[in-house]
Amino acid sequence: AQSVTQLGSHVSVSEGALVLLRCNYSSSVPPYLFWYVQYPNQGLQLLLKYTSAATLVKGINGFEAEFKKSETSFHLTKPSAHMSDAAEYFCAVSEQAAGNKLTFGGGTRVLVKP
């Protein structure tokens, strides 16, 4: 069985500051890992994905994440927060054999202060 833990249900950052969202996973087999963003009243949009290629993954909107197998982590970062980054962010995992059936974490809501 696989699971995802996102540390911190809410994160508040100042505009221009570093955004760091933490994600730890458990999986008995090599996983695929994802970060999705959800804006109010919208569905989920893929930010980036790790599928066993480069461990540092660059995504859209200036976000990136690093896969660390030894730490079973896949933390999401952005060097400089923008007001438009205010949203909820979800980390997700799937087993490679399971294709695209995702297990999501509980989400982290990001508030950006001017």
Partner 1 sequence: ETGVTQSPTHLIKTRGQQVTLRCSSQSGHNTVSWYQQALGQGPQFIFQYYREEENGRGNFPPRFSGLQFPNYSSELNVNALELDDSALYLCASSRDRSNEKLFFGSGTQLSVL
- Does residue number 74 form part of the binding site for partner 1 (CB under 8 A)? no
DSSP string over 61-114: GG-EEEEEGGGTEEEEEESS--GGG-EEEEEEEEEGGGTT--EE---EEEEEE-
Which of the stretches 19-27, 58-66, 75-83, 93-101 binds partner 1 when contact is defined by CB under 8 A? 93-101
Cβ closer to partner 1: 56 or 101? 101
- Does residue number 104 form part of the binding site for partner 1 (CB under 8 A)? yes
Q: How far is CA 82 from the centre of its chain?
A: 17
Q: Which of 12, 14, 26, 45 binds partner 1 (CB under 8 A)?
A: 45
Collapse the DSSP code of 22 into the 3-class scheme (helix H, G, I; strand E, B; otherwise coil) and give the result. Answer: strand
- Does residue number 35 form part of the binding site for partner 1 (CB under 8 A)? no
CB-based contact 91:76 (threshold 8 Å): yes
* Residues lying near partner 1 in the complex (CB under 8 A): 4, 6, 9, 32, 34, 36, 41-46, 49, 51, 90, 92, 94, 98-107
